[in-house]
Amino acid sequence: MDKEVAELQRMAAKIRKQAEEYAKTPEGEELGFRMEFATDLLKAIKARKMTQADFCRKIGMKSPQFARIVQGNENITLAMVNRLARGLGVRPQIRFKRIPEAELMAE
């Protein structure tokens, strides 16, 4: 049993390391950005005491499209970001942050 646990721990460590490495790739960064956006969107909806269905009705969006957005599977436009923001009664803000030199060197 201890050997099995140790093997599972080694496998989990390997998977974590692979995930960390993937997160540093352009594709991983994009996925991270999409998931961060989705998390913020869902928190904002919940903070307004709305259900996802209520929010979809408010902005005239079908549930499957909304599901793709919050799952990070929809490549949304700035117009869509604005539509989602208006449904929340907020203005979207997009900011650019400088990438640390060490991260640029790793690429």
Determine the Cα angle at 106 with ends 28 and 27, to 5°. 15
Instruction: Chunk the chain into consecutive blocks of 10 residues (it has 107) and report each block's average pLDDT, rounded to whole numbers.
Output: 83 86 84 89 95 95 94 91 96 86 66
Nearest residue to 70 (alpha-carbon basis) of 56, 49, 57: 56
Neighbours of 37 (CB within 10 A): 17
- Token code pair at residue 89: 């009664």
Nearest residue to 30 (alpha-carbon basis) of 62, 72, 67: 72
Domain ranges within the chain, ordered by starting residue = 2-106
- Token code pair at residue 106: 């790793």
pTM across the whole model: 0.74
3-state helix, strand, coil in the chain (%, to 5): 70, 0, 30
Q: In the CATH hierarchy, which fold is given to the domain comprising 2-106?
A: 434 Repressor (Amino-terminal Domain) (1.10.260)
pLDDT of 1 reads 65
pLDDT of 44 reads 95
pLDDT of 105 reads 62
